[in-house]
Amino acid sequence: MIVPFAAGSTPDLVARLVGERLGTRLGQPVIVDNKPGASGNIGTNAVAKAAPDGKTLGIGIASTLAVNALLYKKMPYDPARDIELITVAASQPAVLVASSKFAADNATDLLAQLKKNPGKYSFASIGAGSASHLAMQALAARASANLVHVPYPGSGAAVAAIISGEVDMGVLPAATVMPFVKSGRIKALAIASSKRSAFLPQLPTLAEVGAPEIQADAWIGIVAPARTPPEIVKRLSSELVQILTEPSIQEKLHAQYMEPVANTPTQFRSMVNDEVARWKPVIEKNSITLD
pLDDT at site 37: 87
**Per-residue model confidence as pLDDT tens digits over 15-34:** 999 999 999 999 999 999 99
pLDDT at site 80: 95
Contact residues for 94 (Cβ-Cβ < 8 A; gap 6+): 131, 132, 135, 171, 172, 173, 174, 191, 192, 193, 216, 217, 218
CA distance 14 to 76: 25
Confidence of residue 125 (pLDDT cuts 50, 70, 90): very high
SS3 content of the chain, % helix, strand, coil (to 5): 45, 20, 35
Contact residues for 66 (Cβ-Cβ < 8 A; gap 6+): 79, 272, 273, 275, 276, 279
Segments of 181-272 assigned E as strands: 186-191, 218-225, 259-260
CA distance 87 to 241: 8
| DSSP three-state, residue 52 | coil
Residues 199-228 have a mean pLDDT of 93
CA 116 to chain centre: 30
Could you tell me the sign of the dihedral formed by the alpha carbons of 196, 261, 16, 64, in that order? negative
Q: Within 10 Å of residue 254's Cβ, how many Cβ atoms?
A: 15
Nearest to 224 by CA among 26, 16, 50, 3: 50
pLDDT at site 285: 81
Confidence of residue 154 (pLDDT cuts 50, 70, 90): confident
Q: What is the mean pLDDT of the chain?
A: 94
Amino acid at 284: E
User: What are the structural domain ranges in the chain?
Assistant: 2-91+217-285, 94-209
**Per-residue model confidence as pLDDT tens digits over 244-287:** 999 999 999 999 999 999 999 999 999 999 999 989 988 888 78
| 8 Å CB contact between 38 and 64 | no
**Per-residue model confidence as pLDDT tens digits over 83-124:** 999 999 999 999 999 999 999 999 999 999 999 999 999 999
94-209 and 2-91+217-285 share a CATH fold: yes
Burial class (CB in 10 A: 0-12, 13-18, 19+), 73: exposed
**CATH superfamily, domain at 2-91+217-285:** Bordetella uptake gene, domain 1 (3.40.190.150)
CATH fold of 94-209 reads D-Maltodextrin-Binding Protein; domain 2 (3.40.190)
